[in-house]
Amino acid sequence: QVQLVESGGGSVQAGGSLRLSCAASGYTTRFYCMAWFRQAPGKEREGVAFIYGTDHTYYADSVNGRFTISQDKDKTTNLQMNSLKPEDTAIYYCATPRPYTYCSSDGFAARNFVYWGQGTQVTVSS
């Protein structure tokens, strides 16, 4: 069973930085992809970034150039968030699809992901 635990959220002023981490247990080589999603109050959960393999990454347009996703050898998945904006305020979740499933930009939607962390709050003030 896969368990995902996010950490690193907090409050920051616009223009600041935060680094989120997602620790995974039970996340073996059967799992090909890890992603970050976010959900703001009153909005749908949206994909932020995903990573598969050693260096294949994808970013939503809204964060491209400001956020960087990476994965450590122990499969901890990090999201470095720079130049934060108030509109980045949300609960951030890490997630992975079922085993042996790749991520793709076409299928980057919450309904395609099976395992989720509990979320971590990010608040950016202006």
DSSP string spanning 62-121? TTBTTEEEEE-TT--EEEEE-S--GGG-EEEEEEE-STT----STT-SGGG--EE---EE
Q: Which helix (H) or strand (E) holds 58?
A: strand 56-59
Read off the pLDDT of residues 30-87 as tens digits, 9 standing for 90 and up: 888 999 999 999 999 999 999 988 779 999 999 999 999 999 888 899 999 999 999 9
DSSP for residue 43: S
CA angle 116, 38, 32 (to 5 degrees): 45
What pLDDT shows up at residue 29? Answer: 79
What pLDDT shows up at residue 6? Answer: 97
